[in-house]
Amino acid sequence: MDVAILLDTGIYCLLGVTVLSLVRVVIGPEPEDRMIGLNLTASQVLAILVLSALRLDRAIFLDVALVYAILGFVGMLAIARSVGSREGSP
């Protein structure tokens, strides 16, 4: 079993799964449903970035993955604050 074939299998399967998780972002009835879809998409893109770093043997993709995780978390905080304060609740 080759390492490159294994990593390619993981990358392409996760790409297909990420497209499925974007469906919930489009059709979600509540704003929290869209946030769930965005959170799931961010975690799977993080996994794709780490697998691409090993497939292409570039260590710079790991830094990109770490910054992507941090920005996803801060963005989720900002979206939750924006959605919660729109209804007048504290």
Partner 1 sequence: MIWVVAVFLLLGVFFGITGNIGVLRFPDVFTRLHAAAKCSTTSVFSILLACMLLKGWDPMSWRILVIALFFLITSPVSAHIIGRSAWMRGLMPWGRKQRKW
Site residues (vs partner 1, CB under 8 A): 1, 3, 6-7, 9-10, 13-14, 17, 20-21, 23-24, 30, 32-33, 35-37, 39-40, 43-44, 46-47, 50-51, 53-54, 59, 62-63, 65-66, 69-70, 73, 76-77, 80, 83-84, 87, 89
78 three-class SS: helix
Both tokens of 81, joined, read 């604050």
Residue that the structure tokens 């893109």 belong to: 45
Give CA angle at 9 (66, 58), nearest 5°.
40
